[in-house]
Amino acid sequence: MIPVCEPVVTDRDIELVVDCLRSGWVSSAGKYIEEFEARWSAYCDMPYGVSVCNGTAALQIAIELLDLNLGDEVILPSFTIISPALAVVRCGGRPVLVDSTPDDWQMDVSQIAARITPRTRAILVVHAYGHPADMDSILEIARRHQLVVIEDAAEVHGAEYRGRKCGGLGDISAFSFYANKLVTTGEGGMVLLRDARLAERARGLRNLCFHERRRFHHEALGYNFRLTNMQAALGIAQIERIDQTLERKRAIATVYRRELRPVQGVTLPTERPGVKHVYWVFGILVDDAVGPEACELRERLAARGVDTRPFFLGMHEQPVFQRMGLFKCEQFPVAERLARQGLYLPNGLSLADRQITRICQHVKECLDQ
């Protein structure tokens, strides 16, 4: 089976992790933690970085910093993984959804203004699948309504919007360093911030809100969201070669485009002018009027040894939120179409061009079955 994504571990990765092990600093303290935070925040042009145990934890802390009152609202796209909406709900807020644009699959900025109410506190931007959202428009709306902009940048390591790195465009951003990300620590995440006071609060929240001068004295409730020094060591080695990683991801996408562009019934991902798409995944849409639905195509490809993944199911269609009474009777046609017709193909860094050509041949044959 050709996996969807397989991380590449180099001698340099091993060298830094072994050095960490030999140092004895294997838990949540040590030189690699601060270096990892400093390197990644600098790469994204943000002043402060606070590492955490995963991307969902990063989002949780980002939303926690808003100090939401019960029922305060955060606007986000329906088309996303559950983590952003989950963070809002767990902080007592109400997620308010917008649809996505059909060409680049990003949140539809034209719908945001109509969803703003006196209870709106923030816009949570999700840069989907490696392509930046329309940040200029989002930031302008946020300024006009005095809203905080949080970037869920878990899928856009190194992506650029008008020459600036994603994750360095809003007020706060959240990254994931899961195994399938362009920079991985196995599990891990980071919150990037512009405000020193918020950064200090974030550090407290990730570490049970221990009091600075009296360790076991707590004036607030926090979390155990710490990253380990070993994970940070791996992350540093990954950052060192991120340019090569981005180059390979875009090269893989080029081969896919060349092979699949002539195939009828398949829509390929878009790259808007002024952005740098990093193709965290290489997604396609299957026209069900021409070929099978995406779920059937996935089954056919699996039978041929090609692993794939479905696109996200929109938040408004999630059973757990429907049981909570959220998003009643709401419809988001683009998100629904993406969920039903979208899948993404293998694009791990170890994938050879000849394998991509073979995958594309399987796609063509499966569409014709």
Domains of the chain: 11-98+105-240 (3.40.640.10), 243-367 (3.90.1150.10)
Could you give the CA distance from residue 98 to residue 198 in angstroms, rounded to a whole number? 28
302-321 pLDDT, tens per residue?
A: 999 999 999 999 999 999 99
Amino acid, single-letter form, for residue 132 = P
The radius of gyration of the chain's CA atoms, rounded to the nearest angstrom, is 21
Question: Whole-structure pTM over 0.85, yes or no?
Answer: yes
Burial of 240 (0-12, 13-18, 19+ CB in 10 A): middle
Q: What is the pLDDT of residue 213?
A: 79
Asked if 230 contacts 187 with a C-beta cutoff of 8 angstroms, the reply is no
Helix (H) and strand (E) counts for the chain?
Answer: 13, 14
Q: Which two tokens stand for residue 244?
A: 């090569």
Q: What is the pLDDT of residue 291?
A: 72
With the C-alpha atoms ordered 116, 56, 90, 41, is the resulting torsion angle positive or negative? negative
Task: Report the chain (369 residues): mean pLDDT per 10 consecutive residues.
Answer: 93 98 95 98 98 98 98 98 98 98 97 98 98 98 98 98 98 98 98 98 96 85 97 98 98 98 95 98 90 90 97 98 96 97 96 97 92
With the C-alpha atoms ordered 106, 110, 114, 116, is the resulting torsion angle positive or negative? positive
User: What single DSSP character describes residue 315?
Assistant: G
Could you give the CA distance from residue 173 to residue 150 in angstroms, rounded to a whole number? 5
What does the DSSP assignment read for 39-56? Answer: HHHHHTT-SEEEEESSHH
Q: List the strands of the sheet with 172-176, edge to edge.
A: 48-52, 189-193, 172-176, 148-152, 120-126, 73-77, 94-98
Q: What is the pLDDT of residue 188?
A: 98
Could you give the CA distance from residue 367 to residue 240 in angstroms, rounded to a whole number? 40
Average pLDDT, the chain: 96
Cβ contacts of residue 99 below 8 Å, gap of 6+? Answer: 77, 78, 79, 107, 108, 111, 332, 333, 334, 335
Could you give the CA distance from residue 235 to residue 185 in angstroms, rounded to a whole number? 5
227-274 pLDDT, tens per residue?
A: 999 999 999 999 999 999 999 999 999 999 999 999 999 999 999 999
